[in-house]
Amino acid sequence: MQTIQTITELNKWVREVKNSGQTIGLVPTMGFLHEGHLSLVEKAKQENDKVVMSIFVNPAQFGPNEDFDRYPRDLERDERLAAAAGTDIIFAPSVEEMYPRDSQISISAGAQAEVLCGAKRPGHFDGVLKVVTKLFHLTQADRAYFGQKDAQQLAIIESLVADYNFPLSIRRGETVREADGLAKSSRNVYLSEKERAEAPHLNKALRLGKQLLLEGKDPLPEMAAYLDENVSGKIDYIELHDYPTLTKNIMDEAILALAVQFEKARLIDNIIINLKGN
């Protein structure tokens, strides 16, 4: 495995792979890898000849008061983990390499970004679409892999690809969890010992909500009461929407999603529920 940091090097690698008739799977990340990222690499290896992982903490998706500067970074550690998982190449550009000039063109995520995390992070998903559009073009990937933990992001990227006929497919990876149910996240390292003990209650609240929803009840009040009783963090939101449209017109699948702000970490989690019982 090799790590490259320039677009010129990436272009050369992509040409060689494509000229040999091989397929490329892309696993976009912001680094500080965990088992969730590595499960996406495993899936990509099964479905493609080559796997490229991007490691780039994307400033375009961080707001002015968010944690861009302190977002955890450890490229050497990531290289070891990515290599052991079977990644062929890491693309780890600098901010200047990815954004050499101020963009004259902007991409809007639209109505899907006006709920859940997007409601309180204006511009966040515009920044996500900016970087994935560049990565899709640069890597010429046949398939790109995203985790379901960031379900709103996943839905918006699927819309981008479908609406603008990107020549690749988006592949979903299931949320990878700790033994106690906490969703794997690079931001979990920010939790205090007490908060880490409380954090599994996010998933327990979601499972409670799923049970209530399938019983025909409104799950949101009881989920809020459960979290108020069991976590010290502040509830940012608990919402129920159709998936993947993220509208209130729920059809075959629903998403129950929540966010809790702890002292130094904002954790999100969700569960997608098939209402047809399949």
pLDDT in tens, 129-145: 999 999 999 999 999 99
Question: Token pair for residue 98?
Answer: 């990815």
Q: Are residues 143 and 18 in the same domain?
A: yes
Residue-wise pLDDT tens digits, 108-133: 999 999 999 999 899 999 999 999 99
Q: Are residues 152 and 242 in the same domain?
A: no
Q: Are residues 117 and 166 in the same domain?
A: yes
Residue-wise pLDDT tens digits, 237-250: 999 999 999 999 99
Q: Are residues 231 and 162 in the same domain?
A: no
What value does the mean pLDDT take over residues 61-85? 93
* pLDDT for position 37: 96
Domain of 252, CATH number, reads 3.30.1300.10
Q: Is residue 277 part of a domain?
A: no
Nearest to 35 by CA among 213, 174, 233: 174
187 is in an annotated binding site: yes
Q: Is residue 109 part of a domain?
A: yes
Q: Are residues 110 and 83 in the same domain?
A: yes
Q: Are residues 161 and 213 in the same domain?
A: no
| 3-state SS class at 269 | strand
* pLDDT for position 65: 81
* pLDDT for position 64: 87
Q: Are residues 6 and 131 in the same domain?
A: yes
Mean pLDDT, all residues of the chain: 96
Residue with tokens 């680094």: 31
Q: Is residue 259 part of a domain?
A: yes
Q: Is residue 154 part of a domain?
A: yes
Residue-wise pLDDT tens digits, 200-233: 999 999 999 999 999 999 999 999 999 999 999 9
**Strands of the 266-274 sheet, one edge to the other:** 234-242, 253-261, 266-274
Could you say which of 173, 201, 222 is where a domain stops? 173
Q: Are residues 139 and 199 in the same domain?
A: no
Q: Is residue 180 part of a domain?
A: no
Q: Is residue 254 part of a domain?
A: yes
Q: Are residues 162 and 195 in the same domain?
A: no
150 is in an annotated binding site: yes
Residue-wise pLDDT tens digits, 15-49: 999 999 999 999 999 999 999 999 999 999 999 99
223 is in an annotated binding site: no
Q: Is residue 179 part of a domain?
A: no
Q: What is the 3-state secondary structure (H, E, C) of 2-61?
A: EEECCHHHHHHHHHHHHHCCCCEEEEEECCCCCHHHHHHHHHHHHHCCEEEEEECCCHHH
Q: In percent, how much of the chain has pLDDT > 70?
A: 99
**pLDDT band of 7, cuts 50, 70, 90:** very high
Q: Is residue 29 part of a domain?
A: yes
Could you say which of 173, 208, 231 is where a domain stops? 173
Could you say which of 138, 173, 208 is where a domain stops? 173
Q: Are residues 146 and 31 in the same domain?
A: yes
Task: Name the residue range of residue 142's domain.
Answer: 2-173
Strands 89-91 and 50-55: parallel
Q: In percent, how much of the chain has pLDDT > 90?
A: 95
Please report which residue ranges of 86-173 form alpha helices under DSSP H. Answer: 95-98, 116-120, 124-139, 151-163
Is 201 tagged catalytic? no
Q: Are residues 32 and 138 in the same domain?
A: yes
**Furthest-apart CA atoms within the chain: distance in Å:** 59
What value does the mean pLDDT take over residues 159-171? 97
* pLDDT for position 67: 84
* pLDDT for position 89: 98
Q: Are 149 and 269 in contact (CB under 8 A)?
A: yes
* pLDDT for position 276: 78
61 is in an annotated binding site: yes
Q: Are 31 and 159 in contact (CB under 8 A)?
A: no
Q: Are 118 and 112 in contact (CB under 8 A)?
A: yes
* pLDDT for position 114: 96
Nearest to 188 by CA among 79, 80, 124, 262: 262
185 is in an annotated binding site: yes
* pLDDT for position 277: 65
Residue-wise pLDDT tens digits, 175-206: 999 999 999 998 999 999 999 999 999 999 99
Domain count, the chain: 2
**pLDDT band of 278, cuts 50, 70, 90:** low
Q: Are residues 136 and 160 in the same domain?
A: yes
In the set 37, 124, 201, 241, the catalytic residue is 37
* In the predicted structure, residue 90 carries a pLDDT above the cut 70: yes
